[in-house]
Amino acid sequence: MKENEIKIHLIDYLLDNQTDEEIIIGSEVRFFFGSRRADIVALTKSSAIAFEIKGESDSTERLAYQIDSYKKYFDSCYIVCEPSNLKAIRQASPNSIGILVVNQSGIRLIRKPYHHKRLDKKLLLDTVSIQILKSLGSQLTGLTKGEICDTLAKSMPLDTARGISRENLYTKLKPNFDTFSKERGQAINSDDLWILSRMPPSKLSK
């Protein structure tokens, strides 16, 4: 199954199984100093969940590294695979990572993820625009974005950094998701996926 097909099944699954919490979905979401992209992100008021897609032809060689980066920024993470590579995904991923299996008829939950509590404050803050970061303290004037993140990460509580980061992520994903919701038909297609992956007006800094 091609990646876009898996994404479509996954988005249908997320929308069909959402709770009373508002859910915002993004595709190809940048994080980890701009060097990584989450295939799909589901954002609710309480958590940011990453979904890494591994089709049957995808290698698991870098999966450990990918999982490690997800655990530093997202509240939880799922690997979305096919029946043919489920065994390999089980072997390559820790119990803290959820697993979903996709086939032509839909998606099945194999394993629920743990909630990641040891998030990296600098990674969280790096996805926030420099204008917002500078507004958090007069002592930050004249510093580079990296220096600002370093300074704030030393003194800011994790819950505060997480809250600022999640609010910023919501602001970035919401316009595209609203457009997606208005324009999609009964069946999601590749054009709808493109809407979810468009860069926001203010690009993330690397």
Q: Which two tokens stand for residue 170?
A: 């919501």
pLDDT of residue 192: 94
**pLDDT, tens digit, 9 for 90 and up, residues 128-172:** 999 999 999 888 989 999 999 999 999 999 999 999 999 999 999
Number of independent structural domains in the chain: 2
Of 79, 95, 118, the residue that ends a domain is 118
pLDDT of residue 205: 39
Query: Is 199 a member of any domain?
Result: no
**97, 67: one domain:** yes
**79, 138: one domain:** no
Distance CA 106, CA 13 (A): 7
pLDDT of residue 200: 59
Neighbour-count burial for 91-100, b at 16+ CB within 10 Å, e otherwise: ebbeeebbbb
**83, 2: one domain:** yes
Query: Is 193 a member of any domain?
Result: no
**80, 104: one domain:** yes
Distance CA 102, CA 15 (A): 15
Domain that holds residue 162: 120-182
**pLDDT, tens digit, 9 for 90 and up, residues 93-128:** 999 999 999 999 999 999 999 999 999 999 999 999
**pLDDT, tens digit, 9 for 90 and up, residues 166-196:** 999 999 999 999 999 999 888 999 999 999 9
**131, 111: one domain:** no
Nearest residue to 126 (alpha-carbon basis) of 33, 42, 63, 11: 33
Distance CA 159, CA 47 (A): 12
**124, 114: one domain:** no
Give the CA distances from residue 205 to residues 88, 127, 145, 168, in Å, rounded to whole numbers and listed in that order. Answer: 35, 7, 8, 13
Distance CA 180, CA 12 (A): 13
**143, 60: one domain:** no
How many CA atoms does the CB half-sphere of 193 hold within 13 Å?
17
**1, 97: one domain:** yes
Nearest residue to 83 (alpha-carbon basis) of 99, 62, 59, 66: 99
**99, 9: one domain:** yes
Query: Is 101 a member of any domain?
Result: yes
The CATH number that applies at residue 63 is: 3.40.1350
Of 96, 118, 140, the residue that ends a domain is 118
**23, 103: one domain:** yes
